Amino acid sequence: MLEIGCHLSSSKGYEAMAKEANKICANTFQFFTRNPRGGKAKEISQEDIDAFLLKAKEQGINRILAHAPYTLNACSADESIREFAVNTMRDDLKRMEYTPGNCYNFHPGSHVKQGVEIGIQYIADMLNEILLPEQSTMVLLETMAGKGSEIGRSFEELREIIDRVELKEKIGVCLDTCHVYDSGYDIAGDLDGVLTQFDQVIGLERLKAIHLNDSMYGLGSHKDRHAKIGEGKLGLDAIVRIINHSALRKLPFYLETPNDLAGYAREISLLRESYKEL
Ligand code: FE
Ligand code: FE
Ligand code: ZN
């Protein structure tokens, strides 16, 4: 069965997200660990977690994906901003252990004039500081559109970060279909070629999740503007090829398209109809 969901608001807790997922026929979902701008995280309630775990089991939700606040910048030139990223992510990873065995995705960061090399080193340093051998959570680097000085615009940049991390078994990648297309990988015209490249540079075994978005702008535009499924430059056919591709079809897919809940429900239903059971 296709494992698909969308980004949900975490403000009402875990059980509320499971209920919302159920309404839209999602069997997984993504959520921010705290305010996306990075404020203080809400206290986790064990009661809420227990209720969530029960519901998840009933509904066939086998995994969920957490997303770090997008304002974190682990490779800022400003030491206090880097420190904030370390402290926030360390706290998030502690909280992730309430729902063990899931993934935590983050944006590598923007180097802002320091250069890619320094940026990559800062990101690897942070990961070496926060990753613990006993954690059950896998941390995912998201492929980025390459807006401004974003790191992670190429598979090589992500590979370079992974190479410098000691606990490599805790690191994976989340591929965002809008971002990779924006950064110049033609997943609409040559999906096989892009996945071969991914495999050669990073290794497909590291690919743990897909952000499934259409893109408002064209190949290599570096714009990072998500579009509804089938309403962007990727188009529905390309997205249907992505969810059915033999290297991807068993991964969890997360919609981050500009939609309300009813819109997500429509996209999930459309994609379920387009998924070929083998
Ligand atoms: Fe993201
Ligand atoms: Fe994304
Ligand atoms: Zn994006």
Compare 35 and 189 and report the one with higher pLDDT. 189
Identify which ligand lies nearest to the alpha carbon of 210: 2
Write the DSSP string, the chain.
---EEEEE--TT-HHHHHHHHHHTT-S--EEESS-TT--PPPPP-HHHHHHHHHHHHHHT----EEE--TT--TT-SSHHHHHHHHHHHHHHHHHHTTSTT-EEEE--EE-TTS-HHHHHHHHHHHHHHH--TT--PEEEEEP----TTEE-SSHHHHHHHHHT-S-GGGEEEEEEHHHHHHTT--TTT-HHHHHHHHHHHT-GGGEEEEEE-EESS-TT-----EE-TTSSSS-HHHHHHHHH-TTTTTS-EEE--S--HHHHHHHHHHHHHT----
For the residues 136-143, what does the mean pLDDT come to? 98
Distance from the alpha carbon of residue 213 to the mean position of ligand 3, in angstroms: 8
Q: pLDDT band at 42, cuts 50/70/90? A: confident
pLDDT of residue 37: 82
Q: What is the reported pLDDT for 108?
A: 98
pLDDT value of position 170? 98
Distance 142 CA to ligand 2 centre (A): 7
pLDDT of residue 36: 81
Q: How far is ligand 3, taken at its centre, from the CA of residue 182, in Å?
A: 10
The pLDDT of residue 39 is 80
Mean of all residue pLDDT scores within the chain = 97
Cα distances (angstroms) measured from residue 78 to each of 23, 85, 88, 113: 43, 11, 16, 12
Q: How far is CA 45 from the centre of its chain?
A: 25
Distance from the alpha carbon of residue 11 to the mean position of ligand 3, in angstroms: 21
Q: Encode pLDDT of 68-85 as tens digits.
A: 999 999 999 999 999 999
The predicted-structure confidence for 188-221, as pLDDT tens digits, reads as follows: 999 999 999 999 999 999 999 999 999 999 999 9
Residue 34: other Cβ atoms inside 10 A: 20
Q: What is the pLDDT of residue 90?
A: 97
| Ligand 1 centroid – CA 264 distance (Å) | 17
CA of 225 to the centre of ligand 3 (A): 6
Q: Which two tokens stand for residue 228?
A: 């509804």
- Ligand nearest 105 Cα, by number? 1
Question: What would the pLDDT profile of 228-251 be if each residue is shown by its tens digit?
Answer: 999 999 999 999 999 999 999 999
pLDDT digit string (tens) for 160-182?
Answer: 999 999 999 999 999 999 999 99
Considering the entire predicted model, what is its pTM?
0.98
Beta-carbon neighbours within 5 Å of ion ligand 1:
142
**pLDDT tens digits along 59-69:** 999 999 999 99
Closest CA to 268 of 13, 11, 23: 23
Q: Which ligand gives the minimal distance to the CA of 175?
A: 2
Paired strand residues for 65: 30, 103
Q: What's the Cα-to-Cα distance from 156 to each of 38, 139, 251, 266, rounded to whole Å?
A: 28, 18, 22, 36
